[in-house]
Amino acid sequence: MGEENKTYEIVVSGVTKRFEKKEGSFLALDEVNLKIDKNEFICVVGPSGCGKTTLMNIIAGLYPPSTGTVKVRGEVVTGPGKGKGVVFQQYALYPWLTVEKNVAFGLKMKGVGKEEREEIARKYIHIVGLDKFAKSYPKELSGGMKQRVAIARAYATNPEVLLMDEPFGALDAQTRAQLQENLLNTWQQEKKTCFFITHDVEEAVLLSTKIIIMSAGPGHVREIIDVGLGYPRNQETKLTPEFNELKNELWNKVYKEYLEQEK
């Protein structure tokens, strides 16, 4: 199949985004082009304000680009939903629903019957290790547990694409390591196309098949790095020389971006 006929999972073509602010018009994204293969695990890194969240929101269909298009599986994105699961930085769970009901919520919206959605919810609650908390309410859970519920919920609707905006940003190092492992296991068992934003270079190398480095002023893609590390991966992967070599390389590149932004 020729390159031009290949169907990518996500294609971002000539995307720019202008926000109208009081001070005038602000260019947040300038001419972003990306082609993402099915089941790729993409991590996006770059300094604060370089447009990571903006790009993710456009892919999610939460708002349109100013120019350009995003296609998911060959179809132009015109709104949210339809095969896209989103996990935000702050766990957006329904406080009045139990863990089980939160995980099953999207399935209910899709019209899946009660028994089937309970079965699916149980499966993902098990994968994220929360069996004992299926009947608990969000307020009874720690931050890390809530984030695991959010991931289970995103997985439960079986989206083609999973979009995650710094999902582990607010967590302590221990919980974060646990959830990285959890997400890795889930993804290794059931592949999906993931678009995962993080400020943590180590996290990016551990999770991803490719890393997108973005730069600010205005936001654009600076470089795409292939992470050649094999799978399965787990926390011990962090101890290997290959891992550390890549991490240092990425750190040097990203650190430069942060310094340039300080100027």
Ligand X SMILES: Nc1ncnc2c1ncn2[C@@H]1O[C@H](COP(=O)(O)OP(=O)(O)OP(=O)(O)O)[C@@H](O)[C@H]1O
User: How remote is the C-alpha of 22 from its chain's centroid?
Assistant: 31
CA dihedral 167, 173, 177, 178 (to 10 degrees): -90
Q: Report in angstroms how near the CB of residue 70 gets to Mg ion at its nearest.
A: 17
What residue type is 94 in one-letter code? Y
16 binds, among ligand X, Mg ion, none (CB under 5 to 8 A by kind): none
Nearest distance in Å: CB 32, ligand X: 11
- One of 6, 7, 33, 48 touching ligand X (CB under 6 A): 48
| Nearest-approach distance from CB 131 to ligand X, in angstroms | 33
Smallest distance, Mg ion to C-beta of residue 190, A: 26
Q: Which entry of Mg ion, ligand X, none binds 48, CB below 5 to 8 A by partner kind?
A: ligand X
Upper half-sphere CA count for residue 171 (Cβ side, 13 Å): 24
| Residue 222 exposed, middle or buried by CB count within 10 Å (0-12, 13-18, 19+) | middle
Q: Extract the tokens encoding 141.
A: 């859970």
Torsion angles phi and psi, residue 115, rounded to 5: -65, -45
**Given the rule CB under 6 A, which of 49-57, 116-124, 129-137, 231-239 is the region that contacts ligand X?**
49-57
Residue number, 100 or 166, with CB nearest to ligand X: 166
Among 52, 101, 153, 220, binds ligand X (CB under 6 A): 52
C-beta closer to ligand X: residue 16 or 98: 16
**Could you tell me the smallest distance in angstroms from the CB atom of residue 172 to ligand X?**
20
Q: Which stretch binds ligand X (CB under 6 A): 42-50, 107-115, 177-185, 237-245?
A: 42-50
Q: How far is the CB of 199 from Mg ion (least distance, A)?
A: 9
Nearest approach, Cβ of residue 108 and ligand X (Å): 30
Q: Is the CB of residue 99 less than 8 Å from the CB of residue 149? A: yes
Residue 53 contacts Mg ion per CB under 5 A: yes
* Cα separation, 258 vs 48, whole angstroms: 8
Binding of Mg ion by 54 (CB under 5 A): no
Residue that is written with structure tokens 């098949």 in the block? 209
Phi-psi region of 233 (alpha: psi -120 to 50; beta: other; left: phi over 0): beta
Helix (H, G, I), strand (E, B) or coil at 231: coil
Of 45 and 120, which has the nearer Cβ to Mg ion? 45
Strands 24-36, 161-165: pairing kind? unpaired
Q: Is 138 in the site for ligand X (CB under 6 A)?
A: no
Within 175-234, the residues that bind ligand X by CB under 6 A are: 219
The answer to whether 28 contacts ligand X (rule: CB under 6 A) is yes
What distance in Å separates the CA atoms of residue 36 and residue 38, rounded to the nearest whole number? 7
Q: Shortest Cβ contact with Mg ion: which residue? A: 53
User: CA quadruple 115, 120, 121, 125: dihedral positive or negative?
Assistant: positive
Contacting positions for ligand X (CB under 6 A):
19, 21, 26, 28, 48-54, 219
